[in-house]
Amino acid sequence: MAIFLILVPYGVYGLLMLVTSAAVSLFAAVAVCLGVIALDILRGRSVKILGAGSVVVFAAVGGYVLTDPAMNSSAVKFAVDTGIFLVSLLSIVFRHPFTLQYAREAVDAETARLPGFLHANYLITWAWTGAALLMMIGNIALLYVPSLPLWSGLLITFAARNSAVYFTKWYPQYRKAKYGLAPVSTLPATH
């Protein structure tokens, strides 16, 4: 269920971008992000880097869109993807991959101390960083090649995001099979 909650703000934003203004979509995503953060706090969990970073990104882009309502949807999507890319990349640069917070809440203390645990979180965070980069590239293509159909950008986003989700679920199981250790799941299982 956690991965669903993590992705809900992006789903709300993406769906609303198809039917309403960018500002409404972005601020609705901010509200959903804040709701997910509140739910984590109510459950006694930490405020996540990705959640807080997403609030900042959606709010910043939303604020800019209010000053420049002529900004097209591909440029808005590029700005959001760039922000999420930076949140993910900076979590690696500052040696605290954003998946680590989710992982520590999903495993026991002994598993969290395993040498491969941190390494696995770096790899999975890199997968998400790569997915954000691919989404940025897709949006750049739509900006500079306006003859591309809208569905091509959606296809790139869908493929990149779903590949990262798949890798996030697959890699811990791969490590378990290869090393015979408890899985180093970075996100709680979805139910």
142 assigned to some structural domain: yes
**Inter-residue contact 23 to 65 (CB < 8 Å):** yes
pTM: 0.87
Q: Averaged over 153-163, what is the pLDDT?
A: 89
186 assigned to some structural domain: no
Query: Given this model, what pLDDT does residue 184 score?
Result: 47
Across the chain, what does the average pLDDT equal? Answer: 89
- Angle subtended at Cα 38 by Cα 191 and Cα 6, rounded to the nearest 5 degrees: 40
Would you place residue 181 in the very low, low, confident or very high pLDDT band (cuts 50, 70, 90)? Answer: low
Domain that holds residue 157: 2-179
40 assigned to some structural domain: yes
188 assigned to some structural domain: no
More confident residue, 4 or 188: 4
Question: Residue 3 above 80 pLDDT?
Answer: no
162 assigned to some structural domain: yes
Percent of the chain beyond pLDDT 70? 92
Query: Given this model, what pLDDT does residue 150 score?
Result: 78
pLDDT tens readout for residues 105-126:
988 898 888 878 999 999 999 9
Provide the domain count of the chain: 1
174 assigned to some structural domain: yes
Query: Given this model, what pLDDT does residue 83 score?
Result: 97
Fill in the DSSP letter of residue 46.
P
Query: Given this model, what pLDDT does residue 74 score?
Result: 87
Question: Residue 186 above 80 pLDDT?
Answer: no
pLDDT tens readout for residues 13-66:
999 999 999 999 999 999 999 999 999 999 999 999 999 999 999 999 999 999
187 assigned to some structural domain: no
122 assigned to some structural domain: yes
**Inter-residue contact 125 to 171 (CB < 8 Å):** no
Query: Given this model, what pLDDT does residue 189 score?
Result: 41
Rounded to a whole number of angstroms, the distance between the first and last alpha carbons of the chain is 5
